Amino acid sequence: MFELLKQDPSSRARLGRLTTTRGVIETPVFMPVGTQASVKALDNRELLEMGSQIILGNTYHLAIRPGMEIIQAAGGLHRFMNWNKPILTDSGGFQVFSLGKIRKIKEHGVEFRSHLDGKSLFLGPKESMEIQRHLGSDIAMVFDECPPHSASREEVIRAVNRTIRWAAECLEQPRAAGQFYFGIVQGVAFADLRKRCAEELVAMNFDGYAIGGVSVGEPEPEMMKAVEITEPHLPENKARYAMGLGTPAQLVELVARGVDMFDCVLPTRVARNGTAFTRKGTFAIKGGAVKAEFGPIEEGCPCFACQNHTRAYIRHLLNVNEILGLRLVSIHNSHFFLTVMSEIRAHLANGTFAEYRKEFAATYVPTEKVRAARAAAAVSPP
């Protein structure tokens, strides 16, 4: 159940609370991505210490490895990975987009060729929801078709039609005890198609709604537009989730546009390339400029990496390919994303979100490298 606690008077931003059988999720919330039952480079203790309320798993990837037999034998995904807080599972719908070269869309679902060994895997509404039921996730996403942002209007209409039809089929499937089903709105940047898709899904009375088809390689203004034309058609008493977003600056702006839930692979993905997020933007720790800098990644940051190690040391680890280096940057980046969301919630509660939003935008400078990494994340499997 979602409770709207407070509405920001200066924007569409909302303070809320989503209650699941495994715990309460305070929103707005950032959800670390654990595609294959693990948030890359982080363990559960670290995730809990940095304030993670909920994490993600992926239906397509988990169905291939380790497979449902193993996860069911373990007692479900929570027990398999020893995570006691809520989990949201993607339906495999994003892989319809990201694995476009090894899949074939049919009227009742999608036939994949495994990216590992070429074996056939069919996912449709029935199969996707059955897998998510066995996973035992707290929030299960419906199976949808995510068209590329460059798709023609005719192609998008077909994708929206399938998304609506498949959503209705997903609702008919049995679910795990206490499991929420979230609908996904598609339509690229076509306002009328977004409106139609949203209205038809809302009529089905899902437990929450996602804005899909964003962060799939489109320019940032187009992504913001897709959110802006979708949000007014979503009910105020249900959680709103922008899938696959975004950078810290984007998160602040998307909260201002009425979104409650976010996920993104960026914190750990760019960390593996030696890029750190800070309040002033990003910088490359591998660069020679920090070779003799003996301060933390970011002054004042309470994360383990910043409290215990210097930029110079972490740069050394990265440049000699020591695993600890990418772990430390992953810890810092993930902590930073979660801290930003915690600050947003505090400012919404105190009525000072407008000031926070203005200050964040003035300080944070996006980089071309991060935008390029975000685009790469949109077109390749996590």
List active site positions.
90, 263
Closest residue by Cα to residue 27 from 246, 346, 353, 360: 346
Instruction: DSSP for 232-266, please give it.
Output: GGS-TTSEEEETT---HHHHHHHHHTT--EEE-SH
Crossing angle for the helix pair 353-363 and 323-350, to the nearest 10 degrees = 140
* 3-state secondary structure labels for all residues of 173-202: CCCCCCCEEEEEECCCCCHHHHHHHHHHHH
Q: How far apart are CA 187 and CA 266, in angstroms?
A: 24
Closest residue by Cα to residue 62 from 54, 49, 71, 53: 71
Based on its alpha-carbon atoms, the radius of gyration of the chain, rounded to whole angstroms, reads 20
Closest residue by Cα to residue 112 from 129, 135, 128: 128
Whether residue 308 contacts residue 291, with contact meaning beta carbons closer than 8 Å, is answered with: no
SS3 content of the chain, % helix, strand, coil (to 5): 45, 20, 35
Q: Determine whether 67 is exposed, middle or buried from the number of CB atoms within 10 Å of its CB (0-12, 13-18, 19+).
A: exposed
